[in-house]
Amino acid sequence: MTHTLPLPDFTHERVEVITGRRSGLFITVALHSSVLGSALGGARLWTYPHWSDALGDALRLSAAMTLKNAAAGLDAGGGKSVIALPPGTVLDAERRRAAFLDLGDAVESLHGLYRTAEDVGSTTEDMLVVSERTEHVVGLPDAVGGSGEPAGPTSLGVYESLRATLERIGGGADVAGRRITVSGLGQVGSRLAVRLAAEGAVLTVTDVNPAKRDLADELGAAWAQPGEEHLVASDVFVPAGIGGLLTDEVIDALDAKAVCGPANNPLADRTGAERLAARGILYAPDFVVNAGGVIYLDLEAKKIGTRTEIMDRVAHIGDTVRRVFDEAETRGITPLEAAEALAAERLSAGERGHALTH
């Protein structure tokens, strides 16, 4: 489900909006910031009620990528691309290929200021198609020497963030016996659910795709009806689907001690952070929690460290979450504000460095 949200403030360096000449689809590439380096952010293929919803999603997601990459300590800016499908559209193989060739042309038009990768709705194979039109793409399939699917590293970062969150709400970091609700069983959510079930979590899961109930059965997890999962009593609620899930109404009814998950922009409005805090619900900011994939893709592409060393860096996302919680408590602010301040420090330093070299 896509939640229609108002267009955010425009703070971007550049946005390319095209109708794909091969596919006829609305495609946007949003470059939010290149202050810290060439922007990195995935390509989302999704159904939207209207093209303006796709544009708004690209603007919000690209701005979040700037925060994510900065907070993760990467020398990378923030960007995002979106291929919008009109309601009811199903792509055959030929038109799907056409769409990603069109995306490649759009990415190439930014001359390296933005690098794309797989995201919700797209795959590493799709990125191989993009690479036919531009070299500014990462996360190609392992079979062609690429870094492959980033969902594993993302899942690891979320897992370590979840442990840090459990630790903060009391009862230690171990997941065994803890009540955890996972909303969304895509590439990341399903990997996380498998690990949590194996480690003895009391698991509730849901997804808008009813076929995902088979995974719940395999894991021995309870199944919640989509749209009602936030009503299940849990220690941690894990939003792992599309953004905008945490509306004021959902937050007011949320039966959880904490929120920690990989969904981008889970708050329908950033005031939701204060609303959660007012209810005593700890919030681990999404752009810190879900940075594992982008850390992996960026460092792999730049050949910085072995895969083992890169995954070790991903695992330290939990320590960043702890730092954010500490800063929030010390300063009397929300974890979201603390995480934004962490990102702002790096961006400010990057802007100063940029000014000195130009």
| Domain chopping of the chain, boundaries | 14-63+77-144, 151-291+319-343
Instruction: Tell me the pLDDT tens digit for each residue of 85-98.
Output: 999 999 999 999 99
**Mean pLDDT score, 45-69:** 95
Percent of the chain with pLDDT over 90: 89
**Mean pLDDT score, 167-190:** 97
Q: What share of the chain is helix, strand, coil (3-state, %, to 5)?
A: 45, 15, 35
Cβ atoms of 109 and 103 within 8 Å: the answer is no
Pair of tokens at residue 83 = 């291929």
Q: Quote the pLDDT of residue 1.
A: 44
> Per-residue pLDDT for 334 more than 60?
yes
One fold for 14-63+77-144 and 151-291+319-343: yes
Element (H, E) at 47: strand 43-47
CATH fold for domain 151-291+319-343: Rossmann fold (3.40.50)
**How many angstroms separate the CA atoms of 21 and 161, rounded?**
42
Pair of tokens at residue 173 = 């970091």
pLDDT band at 4 (very low <50, low <70, confident <90, very high): low
Letter string b/e over residues 35-73, b meaning 16 or more CB atoms within 10 A of that residue's CB: bbbbbbbbbbbbbbeebebbbbbbbbbbbbbbbbbbbbe
> Per-residue pLDDT for 356 more than 90?
no
**DSSP state at residue 134:** -
Higher per-residue confidence, 148 vs 355 = 148
Instruction: Tell me the pLDDT tens digit for each residue of 261-290.
Output: 999 889 999 999 999 999 999 999 999 999
> Per-residue pLDDT for 353 more than 60?
no
Instruction: Tell me the pLDDT tens digit for each residue of 304-331.
Output: 999 999 999 999 999 999 999 999 999 9
> Per-residue pLDDT for 146 more than 80?
no
Per the prediction, the chain carries an average pLDDT of 94
Active-site residue (options: 68, 80, 212, 257) = 80
Q: Quote the pLDDT of residue 354.
A: 47
Annotation says 302 is catalytic = no
Question: Whose structure tokens read 């896509």?
Answer: 2
Instruction: Tell me the pLDDT tens digit for each residue of 212-227.
Output: 999 999 999 999 999 9
Domain 14-63+77-144 has CATH 1.10.3720.10: no
Determine the 3-state secondary structure of 62 from DSSP.
helix
Residue type, 64: A
